[in-house]
């Protein structure tokens, strides 16, 4: 309903013996051990729903890999976020690592939009999603949901449907950003998840088209230029339809993936004044509202 934040209750994972938590990649292990940004320690992992996984595939949970693989693979360069832009709007993205967020404090610190992790694969939902997604809305931020892709475990359509069914929807209320796909370095194994470049492009298109059919919006694509070049062959077929959310921890956004002449959102650091990862929207606040309104 317009003007009202929809309630959401994330699905509970099935109980199971604790598994070894995969830590952040080597370049960020020290930060994780110091509980970067004041985060609480992550709980033990529970068993995943592997009903949609390929036979013989080990299914994993994440504990916030949006951006956490980037510094390990691409490093940090210069003073982050210092690229001079005519107009930019500060925002953030969060996941279970941040737990319960004080959204009033985030708004006071200058945050104007937030992406919240909803799902990963087809067996994980963020246990803090309801507080983060509805809380940011109630504090006046424009919010959206994102999905962390595991392309080796199930099809793009399967994961898109799981995402939309567990918080990845969209409504034309002026406060909800289009759903987002986080597609990046595999924190569990092979960088490109064992897919060929053409197979990865087909997977992303399958996900994108399914989100479009379910929500009426093409998803925002979060990635890095290096990963996109390596794992899709620098495919240029998404720039005309899918807004780009690019990650690069540097003083400038740098070269963009093929097909996009500008980024919509730039994730410029994985820590800073706001909870979670730090982002700039490439435009004034009314442009953020325009993206929300479609």
* The two three-digit tokens of residue 17, written as one number: 């013996």
**Three-state DSSP class for 183?**
coil
**Three-state DSSP class for 32?**
helix
Catalytic, out of 182, 226, 270, 277: 182
CA distance 8 to 291: 22
Residue 244 CB neighbour total at 10 angstroms: 24
Cβ 115 vs Cβ 163: under 8 Å: no
Active site annotation includes 49 = no
**Three-state DSSP class for 181?**
strand
* The two three-digit tokens of residue 45, written as one number: 């992992």
Contacts of 147 (CB under 8 A, 6+ apart): 117, 118, 119, 120, 159, 160, 162, 163, 168, 179, 180, 181, 182
Active site annotation includes 182 = yes
Alpha-carbon dihedral sign for residues 62, 66, 68, 73: positive
Torsions phi, psi for 80 (to 5 deg): -70, 145
Beta bridge partners of 176: 143
Cβ 231 vs Cβ 203: under 8 Å: no
Q: Using CB atoms within 10 Å of the CB of residue 60, give its burial: 0 to 12 exposed, 13 to 18 middle, 19+ buried.
A: buried
Catalytic, out of 62, 64, 74, 93: 93
Catalytic, out of 184, 226, 270, 277: 184
* The two three-digit tokens of residue 122, written as one number: 């087809």
Residues marked active site are found at: 93, 182, 184
């Amino acid at each position: 309903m317009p003007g009202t934040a929809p309630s959401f209750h994330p699905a509970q994972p099935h109980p199971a013996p604790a598994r070894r938590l995969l830590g952040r990649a080597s370049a960020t292990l020290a930060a994780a051990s110091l509980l970067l940004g004041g985060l609480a320690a992550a709980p033990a992992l529970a068993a995943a729903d592997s009903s949609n996984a390929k036979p013989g595939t080990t299914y994993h949970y994440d504990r916030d890999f949006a951006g956490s693989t980037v510094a390990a693979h691409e490093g940090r360069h210069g003073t982050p976020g210092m690229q001079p832009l005519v107009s930019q709007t500060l925002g953030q993205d969060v996941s279970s690592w941040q737990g319960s967020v004080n959204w009033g404090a985030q708004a006071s610190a200058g945050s104007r939009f937030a992406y919240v992790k909803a799902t990963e694969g087809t067996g994980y939902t963020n246990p803090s999603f309801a507080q983060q997604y509805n809380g940011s809305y109630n504090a006046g931020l424009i919010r959206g949901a994102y999905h962390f892709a595991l392309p080796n475990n199930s099809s793009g359509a399967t994961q898109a449907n799981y995402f939309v069914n567990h918080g990845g929807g969209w409504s034309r209320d002026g406060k909800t950003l289009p759903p987002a796909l986080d597609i990046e370095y595999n924190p569990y194994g092979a960088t490109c998840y064992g897919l060929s470049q053409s197979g990865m492009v087909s997977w992303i298109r399958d996900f994108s088209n399914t989100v479009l059919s379910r929500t009426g919006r093409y998803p925002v694509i979060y990635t890095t230029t290096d990963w996109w070049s390596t794992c899709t062959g620098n495919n240029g077929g998404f720039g005309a339809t899918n807004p780009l959310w690019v990650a690069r921890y540097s003083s400038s956004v740098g070269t963009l993936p093929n097909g996009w002449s500008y980024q919509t959102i730039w994730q410029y650091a994985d820590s800073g004044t706001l909870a979670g990862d730090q982002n700039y929207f490439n435009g004034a606040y009314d442009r953020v509202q325009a993206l929300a309104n479609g």
